[in-house]
Amino acid sequence: MSSTVAEICRNAKTASREVAKLPASARNAALLAMAEALLAEAEPLIAANADDVTAAKGAGTSSTIVDRLTLTEGRLASMAEGLRSVAAQEDPVGEIERGWRRPNGLLIEKVRVPLGVVAVIYEARPNVTADVSGLCLKSGNACILRGSSIATHSNTAIVDVIRRAVQTEGVVADAIQLVGDTSREAALELMQAKDYVDLLVPRGGKSLIETIERHATVPAIIDGDGNCHVYVDAAADPEMATNIILNAKTQRPSVCNAAETLLVHSKLAGTWLPSALEALSAKGVEIRGDDEVRRIWPDAIAASKDDWSAEYLDLVLAVRVVSDLDEAIEHINIFGTSNAEAIVTEDLSAARRFTWEVDSGSVFVNASTRFSDGGEFGYGAEIGISTQKLHARGPMGLRELTSSKYVVWGQGHIRT
Protein backbone atom coordinates (compact mmCIF):
# COMPACT_ATOMS: atom_id res chain seq x y z
CA MET A 1 0.00 0.00 0.00
CA SER A 2 1.54 3.27 -1.05
CA SER A 3 1.70 6.30 1.25
CA THR A 4 -0.52 9.33 0.84
CA VAL A 5 0.94 12.63 -0.31
CA ALA A 6 0.47 14.01 3.20
CA GLU A 7 2.43 11.12 4.74
CA ILE A 8 5.16 11.43 2.13
CA CYS A 9 5.48 15.15 2.81
CA ARG A 10 5.74 14.70 6.58
CA ASN A 11 8.29 11.92 6.21
CA ALA A 12 10.30 13.98 3.74
CA LYS A 13 10.47 16.91 6.15
CA THR A 14 11.72 14.67 8.94
CA ALA A 15 14.21 12.98 6.62
CA SER A 16 15.44 16.35 5.34
CA ARG A 17 16.64 17.27 8.86
CA GLU A 18 18.68 14.07 8.96
CA VAL A 19 20.11 14.46 5.48
CA ALA A 20 21.11 18.07 6.15
CA LYS A 21 23.30 16.89 9.02
CA LEU A 22 25.23 14.33 6.95
CA PRO A 23 28.80 15.11 5.97
CA ALA A 24 29.60 15.16 2.26
CA SER A 25 31.42 11.85 2.60
CA ALA A 26 28.20 10.07 3.60
CA ARG A 27 26.17 11.73 0.87
CA ASN A 28 28.77 10.90 -1.77
CA ALA A 29 29.01 7.29 -0.59
CA ALA A 30 25.23 7.00 -0.90
CA LEU A 31 25.33 8.27 -4.49
CA LEU A 32 28.02 5.75 -5.39
CA ALA A 33 25.95 3.00 -3.73
CA MET A 34 22.96 4.09 -5.81
CA ALA A 35 25.07 3.82 -8.97
CA GLU A 36 26.30 0.33 -8.00
CA ALA A 37 22.79 -0.83 -7.21
CA LEU A 38 21.38 0.32 -10.56
CA LEU A 39 23.98 -1.82 -12.32
CA ALA A 40 23.61 -4.79 -9.96
CA GLU A 41 19.82 -4.76 -10.27
CA ALA A 42 19.72 -4.16 -14.03
CA GLU A 43 17.76 -7.34 -14.70
CA PRO A 44 14.75 -6.71 -12.41
CA LEU A 45 14.77 -3.00 -13.36
CA ILE A 46 14.57 -3.79 -17.06
CA ALA A 47 11.84 -6.39 -16.32
CA ALA A 48 9.77 -3.80 -14.41
CA ASN A 49 10.32 -1.30 -17.21
CA ALA A 50 9.10 -3.88 -19.74
CA ASP A 51 5.69 -3.83 -18.02
CA ASP A 52 5.47 -0.07 -18.60
CA VAL A 53 6.71 -0.34 -22.17
CA THR A 54 4.23 -3.11 -23.02
CA ALA A 55 1.34 -1.15 -21.52
CA ALA A 56 2.40 2.04 -23.31
CA LYS A 57 2.63 0.28 -26.67
CA GLY A 58 -0.74 -1.36 -26.03
CA ALA A 59 -2.25 2.08 -25.37
CA GLY A 60 -0.93 3.33 -28.71
CA THR A 61 1.63 5.70 -27.17
CA SER A 62 3.86 7.44 -29.74
CA SER A 63 7.15 5.78 -30.55
CA THR A 64 9.07 8.87 -29.36
CA ILE A 65 7.58 8.54 -25.89
CA VAL A 66 8.01 4.75 -25.84
CA ASP A 67 11.66 5.31 -26.71
CA ARG A 68 12.09 7.83 -23.87
CA LEU A 69 10.42 5.38 -21.51
CA THR A 70 12.55 2.36 -22.40
CA LEU A 71 15.37 1.28 -20.07
CA THR A 72 18.31 -0.66 -21.45
CA GLU A 73 21.57 -1.81 -19.90
CA GLY A 74 23.23 1.09 -21.68
CA ARG A 75 20.78 3.62 -20.23
CA LEU A 76 21.17 2.18 -16.74
CA ALA A 77 24.93 2.51 -17.17
CA SER A 78 24.43 6.18 -18.15
CA MET A 79 22.26 6.72 -15.08
CA ALA A 80 24.97 5.17 -12.90
CA GLU A 81 27.60 7.30 -14.61
CA GLY A 82 25.48 10.39 -14.01
CA LEU A 83 25.28 9.62 -10.31
CA ARG A 84 29.06 9.15 -10.13
CA SER A 85 29.59 12.42 -11.91
CA VAL A 86 27.28 14.22 -9.45
CA ALA A 87 29.08 12.55 -6.52
CA ALA A 88 32.37 13.91 -7.90
CA GLN A 89 31.08 17.50 -7.92
CA GLU A 90 32.24 19.96 -5.29
CA ASP A 91 29.99 19.89 -2.21
CA PRO A 92 27.72 22.95 -2.28
CA VAL A 93 26.69 22.57 1.38
CA GLY A 94 28.58 24.59 3.96
CA GLU A 95 30.35 26.80 1.47
CA ILE A 96 30.91 30.25 2.98
CA GLU A 97 29.83 32.43 0.08
CA ARG A 98 30.93 35.61 1.76
CA GLY A 99 32.07 36.66 5.20
CA TRP A 100 33.03 39.96 6.79
CA ARG A 101 33.73 41.64 10.11
CA ARG A 102 31.59 44.57 11.18
CA PRO A 103 33.10 47.63 12.90
CA ASN A 104 31.64 46.38 16.23
CA GLY A 105 33.52 43.08 15.86
CA LEU A 106 30.59 40.87 14.80
CA LEU A 107 31.80 38.29 12.31
CA ILE A 108 29.14 37.53 9.67
CA GLU A 109 29.26 34.48 7.43
CA LYS A 110 26.82 33.73 4.64
CA VAL A 111 26.75 29.94 4.49
CA ARG A 112 25.17 27.71 1.88
CA VAL A 113 22.66 25.23 3.37
CA PRO A 114 20.26 22.66 1.90
CA LEU A 115 16.78 23.84 0.95
CA GLY A 116 15.07 20.97 2.80
CA VAL A 117 12.49 19.15 0.69
CA VAL A 118 12.66 19.34 -3.10
CA ALA A 119 9.70 18.00 -5.08
CA VAL A 120 10.01 17.22 -8.78
CA ILE A 121 7.12 16.52 -11.12
CA TYR A 122 8.28 14.99 -14.38
CA GLU A 123 7.28 13.07 -17.45
CA ALA A 124 8.07 9.76 -19.05
CA ARG A 125 11.86 9.37 -18.79
CA PRO A 126 12.76 7.09 -15.86
CA ASN A 127 16.39 8.29 -15.84
CA VAL A 128 15.11 11.50 -14.25
CA THR A 129 14.22 9.43 -11.19
CA ALA A 130 17.87 8.60 -10.57
CA ASP A 131 19.25 11.98 -11.70
CA VAL A 132 17.00 14.00 -9.43
CA SER A 133 17.49 11.68 -6.45
CA GLY A 134 21.24 12.04 -6.84
CA LEU A 135 21.22 15.82 -7.23
CA CYS A 136 18.92 16.32 -4.25
CA LEU A 137 20.83 13.98 -1.94
CA LYS A 138 24.20 15.44 -2.99
CA SER A 139 22.92 18.91 -2.09
CA GLY A 140 21.68 17.72 1.31
CA ASN A 141 17.98 17.68 0.49
CA ALA A 142 15.22 15.10 0.74
CA CYS A 143 13.26 14.65 -2.48
CA ILE A 144 9.72 13.77 -3.45
CA LEU A 145 9.41 12.37 -6.93
CA ARG A 146 6.21 12.38 -8.90
CA GLY A 147 6.66 10.73 -12.27
CA SER A 148 4.06 10.03 -14.89
CA SER A 149 1.69 7.07 -14.74
CA ILE A 150 3.14 5.40 -17.82
CA ALA A 151 6.47 4.97 -15.97
CA THR A 152 4.99 3.75 -12.68
CA HIS A 153 6.52 0.26 -12.68
CA SER A 154 9.93 1.58 -13.70
CA ASN A 155 9.94 4.43 -11.20
CA THR A 156 8.72 2.22 -8.36
CA ALA A 157 11.47 -0.30 -9.08
CA ILE A 158 14.21 2.34 -9.41
CA VAL A 159 13.19 4.11 -6.21
CA ASP A 160 13.03 0.79 -4.38
CA VAL A 161 16.58 -0.03 -5.50
CA ILE A 162 18.08 3.35 -4.65
CA ARG A 163 16.31 3.60 -1.29
CA ARG A 164 17.85 0.27 -0.27
CA ALA A 165 21.21 1.44 -1.59
CA VAL A 166 21.34 4.68 0.38
CA GLN A 167 20.38 2.87 3.58
CA THR A 168 23.54 0.77 3.31
CA GLU A 169 25.44 4.05 3.70
CA GLY A 170 23.42 5.21 6.71
CA VAL A 171 21.10 7.54 4.82
CA VAL A 172 17.44 7.40 5.82
CA ALA A 173 15.37 5.84 3.02
CA ASP A 174 12.68 8.53 3.23
CA ALA A 175 15.20 11.00 1.84
CA ILE A 176 13.98 9.64 -1.51
CA GLN A 177 10.26 9.01 -1.93
CA LEU A 178 8.03 8.40 -4.90
CA VAL A 179 4.41 9.54 -5.01
CA GLY A 180 2.70 6.32 -6.10
CA ASP A 181 -0.58 8.05 -6.77
CA THR A 182 -0.22 9.54 -10.26
CA SER A 183 -3.61 11.27 -10.26
CA ARG A 184 -3.98 14.97 -10.92
CA GLU A 185 -5.38 15.37 -7.39
CA ALA A 186 -2.18 13.99 -5.87
CA ALA A 187 -0.08 16.36 -8.00
CA LEU A 188 -2.21 19.31 -6.87
CA GLU A 189 -1.84 18.26 -3.24
CA LEU A 190 1.94 18.18 -3.67
CA MET A 191 1.92 21.64 -5.30
CA GLN A 192 0.07 23.01 -2.31
CA ALA A 193 2.01 21.34 0.52
CA LYS A 194 3.58 24.62 1.49
CA ASP A 195 4.43 23.62 5.04
CA TYR A 196 6.58 20.80 3.69
CA VAL A 197 7.89 21.46 0.19
CA ASP A 198 10.70 24.04 0.01
CA LEU A 199 11.08 23.91 -3.76
CA LEU A 200 9.09 22.41 -6.59
CA VAL A 201 10.78 21.82 -9.93
CA PRO A 202 8.39 20.98 -12.74
CA ARG A 203 10.00 19.16 -15.64
CA GLY A 204 7.34 18.99 -18.27
CA GLY A 205 5.46 20.77 -20.97
CA LYS A 206 3.35 23.88 -21.13
CA SER A 207 0.27 22.36 -19.48
CA LEU A 208 2.26 21.36 -16.38
CA ILE A 209 3.78 24.85 -16.16
CA GLU A 210 0.34 26.42 -16.49
CA THR A 211 -1.11 24.18 -13.79
CA ILE A 212 1.73 25.19 -11.50
CA GLU A 213 1.37 28.88 -12.25
CA ARG A 214 -2.34 28.61 -11.49
CA HIS A 215 -2.40 26.27 -8.50
CA ALA A 216 0.98 25.93 -6.79
CA THR A 217 1.42 27.58 -3.41
CA VAL A 218 4.86 26.08 -2.83
CA PRO A 219 7.88 27.92 -4.26
CA ALA A 220 8.61 26.73 -7.78
CA ILE A 221 11.31 27.28 -10.37
CA ILE A 222 9.94 27.39 -13.86
CA ASP A 223 11.85 25.63 -16.59
CA GLY A 224 10.13 27.51 -19.33
CA ASP A 225 10.14 28.17 -23.04
CA GLY A 226 13.18 28.57 -25.21
CA ASN A 227 12.78 31.08 -28.02
CA CYS A 228 16.53 31.36 -28.59
CA HIS A 229 18.25 33.79 -30.96
CA VAL A 230 21.45 33.85 -32.97
CA TYR A 231 22.57 37.32 -34.07
CA VAL A 232 25.15 37.45 -36.84
CA ASP A 233 26.92 40.77 -36.54
CA ALA A 234 28.49 42.81 -39.36
CA ALA A 235 31.91 41.76 -38.04
CA ALA A 236 31.13 38.04 -37.90
CA ASP A 237 33.48 35.42 -39.29
CA PRO A 238 31.25 34.07 -42.08
CA GLU A 239 32.21 30.42 -41.78
CA MET A 240 31.88 30.47 -37.99
CA ALA A 241 28.47 32.13 -38.33
CA THR A 242 27.24 29.41 -40.67
CA ASN A 243 28.53 26.64 -38.41
CA ILE A 244 26.90 28.17 -35.35
CA ILE A 245 23.45 28.77 -36.84
CA LEU A 246 23.46 25.29 -38.42
CA ASN A 247 24.39 23.76 -35.08
CA ALA A 248 21.97 25.86 -33.05
CA LYS A 249 19.06 25.12 -35.41
CA THR A 250 19.62 21.59 -36.65
CA GLN A 251 21.79 19.58 -34.24
CA ARG A 252 18.73 18.81 -32.09
CA PRO A 253 15.77 20.98 -33.08
CA SER A 254 13.37 19.57 -30.47
CA VAL A 255 15.11 20.99 -27.39
CA CYS A 256 14.65 24.31 -25.61
CA ASN A 257 18.15 25.63 -26.36
CA ALA A 258 17.84 25.20 -30.13
CA ALA A 259 17.72 28.51 -32.04
CA GLU A 260 14.35 29.67 -33.34
CA THR A 261 15.25 33.08 -34.83
CA LEU A 262 18.25 34.25 -36.83
CA LEU A 263 18.96 37.98 -36.82
CA VAL A 264 21.40 39.23 -39.45
CA HIS A 265 23.12 42.58 -39.73
CA SER A 266 22.02 44.34 -42.95
CA LYS A 267 25.62 44.54 -44.18
CA LEU A 268 25.58 40.73 -44.53
CA ALA A 269 22.15 40.56 -46.16
CA GLY A 270 23.53 40.36 -49.69
CA THR A 271 26.70 38.42 -48.89
CA TRP A 272 26.67 35.90 -46.08
CA LEU A 273 22.91 35.46 -45.71
CA PRO A 274 22.15 33.74 -49.06
CA SER A 275 24.84 31.12 -48.47
CA ALA A 276 23.64 30.55 -44.91
CA LEU A 277 20.04 30.14 -46.04
CA GLU A 278 21.20 27.70 -48.68
CA ALA A 279 23.07 25.65 -46.09
CA LEU A 280 20.03 25.70 -43.77
CA SER A 281 17.67 24.70 -46.59
CA ALA A 282 19.98 21.87 -47.51
CA LYS A 283 19.49 20.58 -43.97
CA GLY A 284 15.72 20.73 -44.47
CA VAL A 285 15.10 23.94 -42.54
CA GLU A 286 12.01 25.92 -43.54
CA ILE A 287 12.74 29.66 -43.64
CA ARG A 288 10.23 32.30 -42.51
CA GLY A 289 11.62 35.69 -43.35
CA ASP A 290 10.85 39.41 -43.27
CA ASP A 291 10.53 41.35 -46.55
CA GLU A 292 14.26 41.79 -46.99
CA VAL A 293 14.93 38.10 -46.46
CA ARG A 294 12.26 37.22 -49.00
CA ARG A 295 13.87 39.51 -51.61
CA ILE A 296 17.10 37.56 -51.16
CA TRP A 297 15.50 34.17 -50.76
CA PRO A 298 12.16 34.02 -52.57
CA ASP A 299 11.38 30.54 -51.20
CA ALA A 300 11.05 31.97 -47.69
CA ILE A 301 7.55 32.10 -46.22
CA ALA A 302 6.51 35.58 -45.06
CA ALA A 303 7.12 35.82 -41.30
CA SER A 304 4.19 37.07 -39.23
CA LYS A 305 4.54 38.67 -35.81
CA ASP A 306 3.79 35.23 -34.29
CA ASP A 307 6.94 33.86 -35.88
CA TRP A 308 9.12 36.19 -33.79
CA SER A 309 7.56 34.67 -30.65
CA ALA A 310 7.39 31.07 -31.82
CA GLU A 311 9.20 28.17 -30.23
CA TYR A 312 9.04 25.81 -33.22
CA LEU A 313 11.07 22.95 -31.71
CA ASP A 314 11.28 21.81 -35.29
CA LEU A 315 13.23 22.46 -38.51
CA VAL A 316 11.75 25.93 -38.96
CA LEU A 317 13.67 29.20 -38.55
CA ALA A 318 12.45 32.79 -38.43
CA VAL A 319 14.95 35.15 -40.10
CA ARG A 320 15.10 38.95 -39.86
CA VAL A 321 17.55 41.48 -41.23
CA VAL A 322 18.35 44.19 -38.67
CA SER A 323 19.95 47.54 -39.34
CA ASP A 324 22.34 47.39 -36.39
CA LEU A 325 23.25 45.87 -33.04
CA ASP A 326 20.67 48.03 -31.23
CA GLU A 327 17.86 46.62 -33.32
CA ALA A 328 19.09 43.07 -32.67
CA ILE A 329 19.23 43.63 -28.91
CA GLU A 330 15.81 45.27 -28.89
CA HIS A 331 14.30 42.40 -30.89
CA ILE A 332 15.69 39.82 -28.47
CA ASN A 333 14.59 41.75 -25.39
CA ILE A 334 11.05 42.01 -26.77
CA PHE A 335 10.57 38.49 -28.15
CA GLY A 336 13.08 36.34 -26.24
CA THR A 337 12.15 33.99 -23.42
CA SER A 338 15.33 34.53 -21.42
CA ASN A 339 16.84 31.14 -22.15
CA ALA A 340 19.87 31.47 -24.47
CA GLU A 341 21.00 33.98 -27.13
CA ALA A 342 24.19 34.13 -29.17
CA ILE A 343 26.15 36.76 -31.07
CA VAL A 344 28.66 35.87 -33.75
CA THR A 345 31.22 38.66 -34.08
CA GLU A 346 34.91 39.47 -34.10
CA ASP A 347 34.13 42.95 -32.75
CA LEU A 348 34.88 43.06 -29.02
CA SER A 349 32.83 46.17 -28.46
CA ALA A 350 29.75 44.59 -30.09
CA ALA A 351 30.27 41.44 -28.01
CA ARG A 352 30.51 43.46 -24.81
CA ARG A 353 27.36 45.44 -25.56
CA PHE A 354 25.43 42.32 -26.57
CA THR A 355 26.40 40.39 -23.42
CA TRP A 356 25.60 43.37 -21.20
CA GLU A 357 22.34 44.53 -22.74
CA VAL A 358 20.64 41.32 -23.79
CA ASP A 359 18.34 40.26 -20.96
CA SER A 360 18.63 36.48 -20.94
CA GLY A 361 19.70 33.59 -18.73
CA SER A 362 22.67 32.75 -20.94
CA VAL A 363 24.38 34.94 -23.52
CA PHE A 364 26.95 33.37 -25.84
CA VAL A 365 29.71 34.97 -27.87
CA ASN A 366 30.83 32.88 -30.84
CA ALA A 367 29.23 29.70 -29.50
CA SER A 368 26.03 27.81 -30.19
CA THR A 369 22.96 28.35 -27.97
CA ARG A 370 22.97 24.56 -27.58
CA PHE A 371 25.56 24.99 -24.81
CA SER A 372 22.86 26.33 -22.47
CA ASP A 373 22.80 23.05 -20.57
CA GLY A 374 23.80 21.90 -17.09
CA GLY A 375 26.01 19.14 -18.44
CA GLU A 376 27.83 21.50 -20.83
CA PHE A 377 28.34 23.95 -17.95
CA GLY A 378 29.99 21.17 -15.95
CA TYR A 379 27.13 20.74 -13.48
CA GLY A 380 26.83 16.95 -13.80
CA ALA A 381 23.25 15.73 -14.22
CA GLU A 382 20.73 18.45 -14.90
CA ILE A 383 17.86 19.63 -12.76
CA GLY A 384 16.61 22.07 -15.41
CA ILE A 385 17.11 25.48 -17.01
CA SER A 386 15.44 28.31 -15.16
CA THR A 387 13.82 31.00 -17.26
CA GLN A 388 12.89 33.05 -14.21
CA LYS A 389 14.99 35.70 -12.53
CA LEU A 390 14.55 34.88 -8.85
CA HIS A 391 16.82 32.37 -7.09
CA ALA A 392 18.12 30.61 -10.20
CA ARG A 393 18.52 31.69 -13.82
CA GLY A 394 19.88 29.61 -16.67
CA PRO A 395 21.16 26.05 -16.27
CA MET A 396 20.74 24.91 -12.67
CA GLY A 397 23.39 23.01 -10.77
CA LEU A 398 23.77 21.82 -7.23
CA ARG A 399 24.16 25.35 -5.86
CA GLU A 400 20.68 26.19 -7.12
CA LEU A 401 19.32 23.40 -4.89
CA THR A 402 20.59 25.22 -1.82
CA SER A 403 19.55 28.20 0.26
CA SER A 404 21.72 30.24 2.62
CA LYS A 405 21.90 31.11 6.27
CA TYR A 406 23.76 33.87 8.08
CA VAL A 407 25.96 32.65 10.92
CA VAL A 408 26.99 35.54 13.13
CA TRP A 409 29.68 35.27 15.78
CA GLY A 410 29.76 37.73 18.70
CA GLN A 411 31.21 38.05 22.18
CA GLY A 412 28.18 39.21 24.08
CA HIS A 413 27.11 41.79 21.50
CA ILE A 414 23.89 43.66 22.23
CA ARG A 415 22.21 46.52 20.35
CA THR A 416 22.14 49.93 21.92
Min separation Cβ 191 and its own copies, Å = 14
Stretch that binds its own copies, among 44-52, 58-66, 300-308, 370-378 (CB under 8 A): 370-378
Counting contacts by CB under 8 A, is residue 393 touching its own copies? yes
**4-33: which residues touch its own copies (CB under 8 A)?**
17, 20-21
One residue of 120, 263, 364, 384 binding its own copies per CB under 8 A: 364
One residue of 91, 160, 237, 311 binding its own copies per CB under 8 A: 237
- The residues, any chain, with a CB within 8 Å of residue 309's CB and separated by 6 or more, are 227, 335
One residue of 57, 102, 206, 295 binding its own copies per CB under 8 A: 102
Counting contacts by CB under 8 A, is residue 92 touching its own copies? no
Counting contacts by CB under 8 A, is residue 413 touching its own copies? yes
SS3 332: helix
CA distance 117 to 141: 6
Counting contacts by CB under 8 A, is residue 99 touching its own copies? no
Number of CB atoms found within 10 A of residue 221's CB:
24
Min separation Cβ 201 and its own copies, Å = 11
Burial call 17-48: b when 16+ CB within 10 Å, e when fewer:
eebbebeeeebbbbbbbbbebbeebbeebbeb
SS3 414: coil
Min separation Cβ 192 and its own copies, Å = 12
Query: x/- site string to its own copies, residues 190 to 219, per CB under 8 A?
Result: --------xx-------------x---x-x
Stretch that binds its own copies, among 59-67, 127-135, 285-293, 392-400 (CB under 8 A): 392-400
Number of CB atoms found within 10 A of residue 70's CB:
18
- The residues, any chain, with a CB within 8 Å of residue 136's CB and separated by 6 or more, are 118, 120, 142, 143, 175, 176, 401
Counting contacts by CB under 8 A, is residue 365 touching its own copies? yes
Q: Which helix (H) or strand (E) holds 286?
A: strand 286-289
Counting contacts by CB under 8 A, is residue 108 touching its own copies? yes
State CA 194 to chain mean position distance.
23
**109-138: which residues touch its own copies (CB under 8 A)?**
113, 115-116
**256-315: which residues touch its own copies (CB under 8 A)?**
none
- The residues, any chain, with a CB within 8 Å of residue 412's CB and separated by 6 or more, are none
Please give the torsion angle defined by the CA atoms of residues 324, 330, 336 and 337, in that order, rounded to the nearest 10 degrees: 140
* Closer Cβ to its own copies, 189 or 237, answer by number: 237
One residue of 133, 261, 362, 387 binding its own copies per CB under 8 A: 362
Min separation Cβ 247 and its own copies, Å = 4
CA distance 11 to 32: 24
Min separation Cβ 49 and its own copies, Å = 29
Stretch that binds its own copies, among 30-38, 294-302, 312-320, 355-363 (CB under 8 A): 355-363
